[in-house]
Amino acid sequence: MKTISKYGPLFLIILLVSCSVEKKASKSFDLAQYQYTIDVYNKVLKKDPENAEANYFIAESYRLSNRLHKALPYYEKAMTNGISNDSVGLFYAFALKVQGKYDEAGDQLDKFLRESENEKYVKRAEEEFNNLDNLEKIQTKKNYYRVKNLEAVNTSFAEYAPVYNDGKLYFSSSRGDNKIYLGTGTPFTNIYSADTKGARVKTESVKALNDIINSPITNEGSVTFSPDGKTMIFAKGNSGKRKGTADVNLYITRNRNGVWTEPRMLRINNPGYWDSTPAFSRNGKTLYFSSNRPGGYGGTDIYSARQNARGRFFKVKNLGPEINTSGNEMFPYISDDGHMYFSSDGHPGFGALDLFVAQRVNGQIELENLGKPVNSNADDFGIHLFRADRGFFTSNRDGGKGDDDVYTFVNEDPELRVVNYFLEGVTMTHDGNDQLVILPNVKVELRDYKGEVLDETTTRDDGKFLFRVYEHEHYNLIGDKIGGTEQYLVTREQFTTVGKAVDRTTLKKLVTDIKFDTLLVLEKIQKDKRFVLENVYYDLDKWDIREDAAIELDKLVTLLTDNPELKIELSSHTDDRQTDAYNLRLSERRAQSAVNYIISQGITGDRLVARGYGESRLIIPNAKTEEEHQINRRTEFKILEIGQKKPVNPEEFDEDRYFDDEEDSGEN
């Protein structure tokens, strides 16, 4: 009892200090202050190197602050000393992979899959196990890339997410005298610019953007510019505070007379979650970004959002499982040839984040790992091409200046030829004199053969639209008049690039643009207006729907589907080479047969009226030739009723009077 009494106060002090340290470290971990957590637990390890909890939280802190390459020894000690939660074995395997220990990583994943029952982590482990099986194929892939550290901008701090715009290289960096971000233990990042000609950077021109963009107590980074360079969107956040900017959000600013306006948060941010790494499409109509918002496939997924003419973003859409995995996908970039480059640790790769390119091939998305030397065991991300064969990217691989560095690359493939295909057209209508005239304010969608919307725009006063298309694909163009007092039929036209591709081996230039022309004609909706259906033929004295007639009637089915507010009369007409009574009965049967076919394709019968007119409405009386008789033997439809058209979503409508100035004060 005396011995216990003598040392009891000392044990109590040690216990209280230990509890205090653990409480402080736990709080900092919950606040994402990972470097502070590491520092606190390192003090514990000085006294107790085998402490399982300290090793585990240091490993997790390195992983969650994008420094997985430092986590391996801490995961090993945590597991050796008894940590066995649902995830530690999985992340230990990832740490092995980042160190290039692929066989050991595979063994650890196999062990994890045999022991774990957590569905979320099991799925991720299965994906990664399969990825390791594909690694040999990626390692032997031949390419012509040559990479080099861009020493002119790199420091011992982090430099990442390079973007080229109008003779300047923009990038993010933790250099400078900002306050320390407790997540990484380095200064908060700012956005910098430097004058450059290609990859030849003027070192003396490197400078931070002004205070309206950068702040000393938040991270700014991952910038993108609209095609005209007048709109900038960037990510901002991570102050470490619970209020305001604890998470990362996307901000927008406009260049007015050479000055950037006060940045404002985009509406597409999901409060409380991470939204970052933005990238404009080449036409500026779509914004791509990454987010860990609910409803995704894993960690961070890549999303898209449409932009209307007033600069407002809407229609946020997950790009789906072709791009996203249960891992992390981020840093999207759309090149001039329409390919999407992005980084992922969920697709087959060498270590942490690898760079991939997604291309449309025969209507399908195909992914390609860019291979070494672009990719490495480390994080490789943030690619940007300033030419079709060269550009920048980011890596924290060995041999750099200390943290994330900007690298340049050149693709020296002697057979590299880029072909860009575009479909340009004009929206038109018939005027009172049956002449084609321009019809403005038409929303035009480009859809693939599966019906998925690939792109959309709203025509202006010139009626023009332009879409990127790809080789060996079938498309539908769908036009819908927006606004105004008169209604027009929603119209679709088919277009194909099948058989229209050029032979790349015959091309001399690195980049070739090819444009196809088309018209999209929308007809005004008028009661009792008649439309002739071409090529709806019947066998002599028959009323059965032939295959060639079904093709034409299918077009009417599509029109009725696209215009659900219409009720029509479908009429059949004959020539005058039989008796009136015979022709009337025959035309009635043919009209009813056509209506029955349309109903069989999903159109409700209450929208259709069948009428046979026999020979009572000849277009050419006293026809002599077979061609003239054929003109009389026609099938028509007439608009009987015009219901109320579905109201337009105001987010999609482009006319100025429908918008306030909450997100923009002008077109970009």
User: Which pLDDT tens digit goes with each residue over 166-189?
Assistant: 999 999 999 988 898 888 889 999
CATH fold of 530-642 = 60s Ribosomal Protein L30; Chain: A; (3.30.1330)
More confident residue, 663 or 103: 103
Q: What is the pLDDT of residue 363?
A: 86
Separation of alpha carbons 373 and 160, rounded Å: 18
CATH fold of 20-139 = 1.25.40
Is-contact 597 533, C-beta < 8 A? no
pLDDT tens digit sequence for 620-660: 888 888 788 878 878 888 889 887 666 555 455 443 333 33
- DSSP letter at 488? B
User: For residue 434, is it left (φ>0), alpha (ψ between -120 and 50) or beta?
Assistant: left
- DSSP letter at 416? -
CB within 8 Å of 132: residues ≥ 6 apart: 97, 102, 105, 106, 109, 348
- DSSP letter at 390? E
- Give the tokens for residue 165: 């715009």
Q: Minimum mean pLDDT among 76-90, 326-340, 640-654: which range?
A: 640-654
Separation of alpha carbons 406 and 164, rounded Å: 12
pLDDT tens digit sequence for 34-46: 998 999 999 999 9
pLDDT tens digit sequence for 13-31: 333 345 566 777 778 888 8
More confident residue, 1 or 604: 604
Tell me the DSSP string of 304-334.
EEEE-TTS-EEEEEE--TTT--SS-EEEEEE
**What is the CB-side half-sphere exposure of residue 367 using CA atoms within 13 A?**
18
CB within 8 Å of 371: residues ≥ 6 apart: 138, 139, 141, 143, 145
Burial of residue 447, with CB atoms counted within 10 A of its CB: 0-12 exposed, 13-18 middle, 19 or more buried = middle
Q: What is the pLDDT of residue 154?
A: 96
Residue 346 banded pLDDT, cuts 50, 70, 90: very high
Q: What is the pLDDT of residue 582?
A: 86
pLDDT tens digit sequence for 188-232: 999 999 999 999 999 999 999 999 999 999 999 999 999 999 999
Tell me the DSSP string of 600-664.
HTT--GGGEEEEEEETTT-SSTT--SHHHHHHHS-EEEEEEEE-PPPPPPTTT---GGG--SSS-
Q: In whole angstroms, how far apart are CA 95 and each of 35, 223, 351, 573, 636?
A: 18, 29, 8, 76, 70
Instruction: Give domain 145-411's CATH architecture.
Output: 6 Propeller (2.120)
Query: What pTM value is reported for the model?
Result: 0.84
Separation of alpha carbons 18 and 658, rounded Å: 62
Q: Minimum mean pLDDT among 460-464, 527-531, 610-614, 637-641: which range?
A: 527-531
Across the strands, what pairs with 408?
Answer: 148, 392
Compute the mean pLDDT over every residue in the chain, rounded to the nearest whole number: 87
Its CATH class, for the domain covering 418-524, is mainly beta
Residue 662 banded pLDDT, cuts 50, 70, 90: very low
Q: Given a cut of 90, is residue 244 above it in pLDDT?
A: no
Question: Cα–Cα–Cα angle for 523, 527, 530, nearest 5°?
Answer: 60
Domain ranges of the chain: 20-139, 145-411, 418-524, 530-642
Separation of alpha carbons 160 and 272, rounded Å: 24
Is-contact 346 339, C-beta < 8 A? no
Across the strands, what pairs with 569?
Answer: 609, 638
Q: Do 20-139 and 418-524 have matching folds?
A: no
Tell me the DSSP string of 500-568.
----GGG--SSEEEEEEEEEEE-PBP-TT-EEEETT----TT--S--HHHHHHHHHHHHHHHH-TTEEE
Q: In whole angstroms, how far apart are CA 523 and each of 361, 491, 565, 626?
A: 35, 8, 15, 30
